[in-house]
């Protein structure tokens, strides 16, 4: 079925959802986005996604031509028009059409685009057996060049690392930062468990502040686990009892090997399973 897309302030047919070839979102990857899940017809962590979108936009000096409330209504309307009960929303804001040059003052009409569709997840066996990972040689963008906190339309850094993962036959890849520390995966944050303590890189590692990451940290603390945000090396990962990734698409997914080292028992571990259950309960709770 053809989708209804929110574009230009209204819902239009997919075939009519077109933007200018002069849009700097296309010419320079100049814009921001969010990837949001819909569970049981409800937009999950909606307010937090909208807040992050507006923060990303602020950081790149992009004025979104709608209020946060209006953007939320547009998302709700698009989900409803496409009868999505369990699915995925891609919310995009481009810089708008401009001249063939970098000057943002010569652009106009930033485009707010909402696509609501069903979601393609990792292969089912990934969830039962866990995922295998390699470390990419491509490091995460230096935070002094482009903050990883900005969820920008320029994902080449992550795409180059993801290519290394797919070349190795894997669905994700680990990225280090410019200091050689563990940062995150190409579209997921990373956690390890050692002696029942959870550890994950802090925001100063140059990572996206994942909303799933934040939710899992909160759920873990509520569940009585200690959680440390700290600098991690690959060695810390190799000798962990458990490892898992968090992300909007992935939810919570176990990692059972990294760079040919099996992690812990080589099977999804008990803490990972517990946190996945707690996270799935949260997705059903209507937040
Ligand atoms: N790090 C990076 C670099 C990401 O792009 C995450 C961590 C996890 O963040 P959230 O807030 O989702 O927990 C992301 C998120 C897609 C897609 O279609 C990618 C993401 C989210 C949703 C969809 O590739 N990345």
CB atoms within 10 A of CB 144: 8
What is the distance in A from the centroid of ligand 1 to the CA of 36? 9
Pocket residue to mutate for ligand 1, from 34, 45, 188, most atoms within 8 A of Cβ = 188
Q: Rounded to two decimals, what is the model's pTM?
A: 0.97
* Active-site residue, from 10, 48, 69, 151: 151
What is the distance in A from the centroid of ligand 1 to the CA of 212? 9
Q: For the chain, what percent of residues have pLDDT higher than 70?
A: 100
The model's pLDDT over 87-116, given as tens digits with 9 standing for 90+, comes to 999 999 999 999 999 999 999 999 999 999
Strand 131-133 to strand 10-13: parallel, antiparallel, or no bridges (unpaired)? unpaired
Q: What integer pLDDT is reported at residue 121 of this predicted model?
A: 82
- The DSSP code sequence of 27-92 is HH--EEEEEEEEETTEETTHHHHHHHHHHHHHHTT---SS-HHHHHHHHHHHHHHTT-SSEEEEEE
Q: Tell me the pLDDT band of 1, cut-offs 50, 70 and 90.
A: confident
Q: Tell me the pLDDT band of 262, cut-offs 50, 70 and 90.
A: very high
H or E stretch covering 193: strand 189-194
Pocket residue to mutate for ligand 1, from 185, 189, 211, most atoms within 8 A of Cβ = 189
The model's pLDDT over 49-93, given as tens digits with 9 standing for 90+, comes to 999 999 999 999 999 999 999 999 999 999 999 999 999 999 999
211 lines ligand 1 (CB under 6 A): yes
78 lines ligand 1 (CB under 6 A): no
Q: Tell me the pLDDT band of 231, cut-offs 50, 70 and 90.
A: very high
Atom 20 (ligand 1) nearest CA: 187
CB atoms within 10 A of CB 103: 9
Q: Taking the alpha carbons of 15, 21, 24, 26 in that order, is the dihedral positive or negative?
A: positive
69 is catalytic: no
The domains located in the chain, with CATH, are 4-117 (3.30.470.10), 124-283 (3.20.10.10)
Question: Could you give the CA distance from residue 72 to residue 186 in angstroms, rounded to a whole number?
Answer: 27
Q: What integer pLDDT is reported at residue 212 of this predicted model?
A: 98
């Amino acid at each position: 079925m053809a989708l209804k897309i929110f574009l230009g302030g209204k819902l239009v047919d997919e075939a009519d959802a077109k933007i200018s070839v002069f849009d700097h979102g296309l010419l320079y990857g100049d814009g921001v986005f969010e990837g949001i899940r819909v569970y049981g017809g409800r937009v999950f962590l909606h307010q937090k996604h909208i807040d992050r979108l507006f923060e990303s936009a602020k950081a790149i000096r992009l004025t979104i031509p709608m209020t946060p409330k209006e953007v939320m209504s547009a998302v709700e309307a698009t989900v409803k028009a496409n009868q999505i009960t369990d699915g995925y929303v891609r919310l995009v804001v481009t810089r708008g059409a401009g001249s063939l040059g970098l000057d943002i003052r010569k652009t106009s009409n930033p485009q707010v685009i909402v696509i609501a569709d069903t979601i393609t997840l990792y292969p089912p066996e990934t969830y039962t057996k866990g995922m295998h990972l390699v470390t990419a040689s491509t490091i995460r963008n230096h935070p002094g060049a482009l903050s990883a906190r900005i969820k920008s339309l320029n994902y080449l850094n992550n795409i180059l690392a993801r290519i290394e993962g797919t070349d190795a036959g894997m669905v994700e890849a680990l990225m280090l930062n410019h200091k050689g520390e563990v940062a995150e995966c190409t579209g997921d944050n990373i956690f390890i468990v050692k002696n029942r303590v959870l550890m994950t890189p802090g925001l100063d590692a140059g990572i996206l502040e994942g909303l799933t990451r934040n939710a899992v940290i909160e759920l873990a603390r509520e569940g009585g686990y200690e959680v440390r945000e700290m600098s991690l090396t690959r060695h810390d990962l190799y000798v962990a009892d458990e490892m898992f990734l968090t992300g909007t698409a992935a939810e919570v997914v176990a990692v059972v090997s990294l760079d040919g080292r099996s992690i812990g028992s080589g099977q999804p571990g008990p803490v990972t399973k517990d946190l996945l259950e707690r996270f799935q309960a949260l997705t059903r709770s209507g937040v």
